[in-house]
Amino acid sequence: MSGTNTSAPHAPSADPAQLTVHDVGALEGLTSAERTRRGRWMMAWVVFLCALPVIASYFTFYVIQPRGQGYGSLIDPPRLIPEALALRDLQGRPVAAKSLHQQWLLVVVDGGSCVGECEKHLYLQQQLRTMLGKEMDKLDKVWLVNDEAPLSAELQAKLGQAQALQVLRANPEALARWLEPAAGQPLSAHLYLVDPRGEWMWRSPVAPDPLQVKKDLNRLLKANAGWDRPGR
């Protein structure tokens, strides 16, 4: 049937460029105070994104898991390794504290003579890393030697066969300002976990149970799966 088409003409389609490109003139018209305020909001957003993995790990550790709390102790707030912490390898060469970033670290602290509990902790380090299976490459081991006692030739031979282990001497006073044992315990009584940002964030109980520690490690690594990557 013939007749006049009375329907409204189609509205012009939106230009995609108009939806994605900011009005440069409007930005130029911002006052200095407005630009400062906008910059602060952007900085706050960046800080939030950087902190998100740590928030996720705490939420997973304390809220999601059925028991409501982990086996070890989460450090709140986490403590960043001091850049001024003097570290040396066994040949006496200086090692920058910042070089320990970008990897999960399971840390033992003890003197160079390393008998008794020290030997058990070094063995437990290796055992726990192996127990992580396909996740093991995300975790390195560090022994911080907090005195000047020499390591025996036998011990050095054993350490030479260990995988992903770094042995460093550290000033005991400076070390005690970063890591902290449970009340009444020496630093050597625990294992310490440092995240890839270089922040100490977990401490084992005294005489830790390997299976319970492994559960904690699995939770923390899983909570940060999108943030961490194998290898340093």
Domain-wise residue ranges, the chain: 72-223
CATH class of 72-223: alpha beta
* Contact call for residues 134 and 112 (beta carbons, < 8 A): no
The identity of residue 35, as a single letter, is: R
Q: Residue 59: what pLDDT?
A: 56
CA dist., res. 201 & res. 227, Å (int)? 16
Distance separating alpha carbons of residues 113 and 145, to the nearest angstrom: 9
Which residues of the chain are under the pLDDT cut of 50? Answer: 1-24, 26-27, 62, 65-68
Q: What pLDDT score does 16 carry?
A: 45
How far is C-alpha 210 from the geometric centre of its chain's CA atoms?
21
pLDDT at 144: 98
Q: DSSP state, 76?
A: E
Note if the pTM is more than 0.75: no
- Residue 162: closest CA among 128, 204, 200: 128
What was the pLDDT predicted at 5?
Answer: 46
pLDDT for residue 9? 46
Query: What's the confidence (pLDDT) of residue 6?
Result: 45
* Cβ proximity of 186 and 203 under 8 Å: no
